[in-house]
Every structure is written in structure tokens, then in C-alpha cells.
Amino acid sequence: MSNYQLTAVIFVLLALVGLAQLLGYVFVKLRQPKVVGEILAGVVLGPALLGRLPFVEHVVSTARHNTQILSFVYWLGLLLLMFVSGAEVQQLFGRGERRTVSWLVIVGTGIPFLLGLIFAPHLITPSLAGPHGNRASLIIILAVGVAVTSVPVVSKIFADLKILDTRFARLILGVAVLEDIVLWLALAIATSIAAKSHLRPWQMSLHLLVTVAYFGLGLTVVPRLVKRINTARWNALARHSPTGYAIAVLLAYCAIAGALDVNLVFAAFLAGFALVHRKRRIFEDSIDAISKVSFAFFIPVYFAIVGLKLDLIRGVSLPMMVIFIVGTCAVKMASVALAGRFAGFRGLELINLGITTNARGGPGIVLASVAFDAGIISSKFYTTLVVAAVLTSQLAGA
């Protein structure tokens, strides 16, 4: 890589992180989700706006032709986002209110997901599919797109409203946590099906079994093993450099997942989930340090590149966008309202319940980017999923 090419990449990274932080700050001041401003930063730098200027187009084009650095920062941002999300999920994962949370998950998430699986085969068109998208993987992506809920967006809204310690907040976050775990598993299966569609049935079955086993062990057995290693006397790295150790755990999870041909995104989530102990906050400061660096640079750049990938000139289908957003919101909110009635909620509480659990936020965007990068979905459907995540998050935060 020449000095000019490296300079172009650094300039684009500077522009992305600068615009992401600036627009993120503006959206926070407007009491809107910061992630919307970060995505908008990529849109501003893209072909729809500043990318039309010859100088900007040339620099961005030069940087994108040397994809190794931008791609590495993009994927590192996504892995760190999932790692921090996994740690946050473990801290929020409580045992109280089991009956209510169970109703909300089984009915509020189960119905949208099942409806997605049932009706998706009749809704799939060639315009939805990417180069590696097959029928089975597209059906799962559509079902997950209907059911997904954002833990970070919902928890941030509750913190801003100063109701994070209320029963209502605990219930919603408990539901969102369980939804995330189930839906990440579904997305892992979808990417596995798309990546291995050329295999024989027995090979495909074996690969899916490995994916499910990795996920299952990563949620149950491995966290207990990691907690023992964390406190072992011989573990000098955990005692003397807990932040370095936390990053080593993340890399180890990803390396093992890569060796097993499991998507690294889900490995990062499981690494964060395994590292945090609710009672013994050994790595609380380390996770906080990693989170600060991640949210200062890598994660904003990831969301900005998500915006940069949006093709708002040729990659937009307004009918698809309207039908998907209206249809999925109606199904999700109606299902959650029904679940809320079973759980004992009434009146305005049902409306609040439906709106907050309908926020797609970061998970909705991760769903879009993982499916798009795996070649499962088209650029038009990618844009639709990202816009749906942005609009539902804004609605929940309004």
C-alpha cells in the first residue's frame, strides 16, 4: 500500500469518526438514539451527499479499493459491539419475574417469529435475495427481522427516563435479553445455511449441529469454566492485566469459532457473556475501559460504515420499506400487547410495552450487516432493515 493510499484510508476514518461523533452528539441533544447520527455520518459521506463531490468521491473510492484496513476496523467494531452487548446482557440477566417474562417472550416474541416463518415463504421475491441467499436462510432472516428487540436502545431509554430500577424496566430488559439470545442463534443458523448451501445434506446437518452446540455450550458450560479460570491462582494475566485478559478471552472465543467455521460475531457475544460474573465484578473496570475505547472509535466507525454501505440512489425500494416496516411493527406490537394482557398489564402500559419492545436498534442493524455481508440479502433489503431499525428506535425514544 502506497503512502497516498494509506493517507486516503486515514482521511476516511477521520471523517467517519468525526462525523459520527458530531452527529451522534446532535441526536443525543435532540433526545434521539445516538446510533442514528452515527449511521447518518456514513450516509453524509456516501454517494447520496458529499460523495457527489469529486474530491470526496476520489478519496473514498481510493480508501474502499484498499479494503483491508476499512474492513478490519468495521469487523473489529462489530466484534467489540457484540462483546460489550454480551457483557451487558449477562449483567441484566435476572431470575425475578419469571412468569411475566416467560409470557412476554413466548407470546410477544414467539408469535412474530412463527408468523415470520409461516408467511416468509409466500413473501420472498428475487429482490430480497443476495448472491448467496437461499430460501431457508431468507426465511430465517425475515422471521428474525420481525421479532428482534434492542437491549442497548431500551436500556438507554429507561436510563434517560430514570426508570431503570422499576419492575416495568426489569421485565422489558429481561424479555429483550432472552429474545437476543434466541434470535442470535437463529441468525447463526441462517448464516451457516447460506455459507454451506453447496454441501451435502449430512454435511450441512453436521455444520448446523456444530453451530448450535457452540452456542449452547457458550451459554451454559463454558461460562462456568471461564469463571474458574478467571480466579485461578496461576492466572497471572487476569490479576495483573485484566483488560488484556478480557481481550484475550474475546480473541480466544473468536479463534475457536473460526476453527469450527462458526460466525465470529456470535463468538464475540458469547465471550462477553462468559466473562462477566453478576456477583463478583472482577472485570467490571476492564469491560468499562474496553467499552469506552470501543464507543469512542470502533463502534461509531462500524455504524458509520453501515451508513456508507447504504445505496440511497439505486438500493432503495419504497414499497418494500413501507410494507416491511408497517407489517413487522403491527405484528410485533400486537403480539406484545397480547402477551402483556396475559402477564397482567392493562391500558397505557400495553402501549408502552409494545413501543419499547418494537425498538430494533443495534441488533436490527447487526442483523442487516451480518446478513448482507454473508450475501443472504440484497442491497435493497439491507437498506430496508437498517431504516426499520432506525425508525423503530426513534419511535421508542420519542
Burial label for 138, CB within 10 Å (0-12, 13-18, 19+), is buried
pLDDT of residue 249: 92
User: Residues 164-181: pLDDT tens digits?
Assistant: 556 666 666 666 666 667
| pLDDT value, residue 148 | 77
pLDDT digits (tens, 9 = 90+) for 120-133: 888 888 888 888 87
- pLDDT category at 298 given cuts 50, 70, 90 is very high
Question: Hey, is 58 helix, strand or coil?
Answer: helix
Write down the pLDDT at residue 126.
Answer: 84
Rounded to the nearest 5 degrees, what angle is found at the Cα of 373, between the Cα atoms of 1 and 28? Answer: 90
Model pTM? 0.78
User: What pLDDT sits at residue 89?
Assistant: 66
Provide the 3-class DSSP secondary structure of residue 97: coil
Q: What is the DSSP string of 144-196?
A: HHHH---HHHHHHHHHHTT-TTSHHHHHHHHHHHHHHHHHHHHHHHHHHHHHT
Q: What is the pLDDT of residue 255?
A: 94
For domain 90-285+316-397, give the CATH number.
Answer: 1.20.1530
Question: Cβ contacts of residue 36 below 8 Å, gap of 6+?
Answer: 27, 390, 393, 394
Instruction: Assess whether pLDDT exceeds 80 at residue 112.
Output: yes
260 confidence band (pLDDT: 50, 70, 90): confident
| pLDDT exceeds cutoff 90 at 269 | no
Residue 395, pLDDT > 60, answer yes
Write out pLDDT tens, residues 330-383. Answer: 888 888 777 777 767 677 777 777 777 777 777 788 888 888 888 889 888 999
Average pLDDT, the chain: 80
64/301: higher pLDDT: 301
Q: Report the percent of the chain where pLDDT is more than 70.
A: 81
Alpha-carbon distance 333 to 343, whole Å?
15
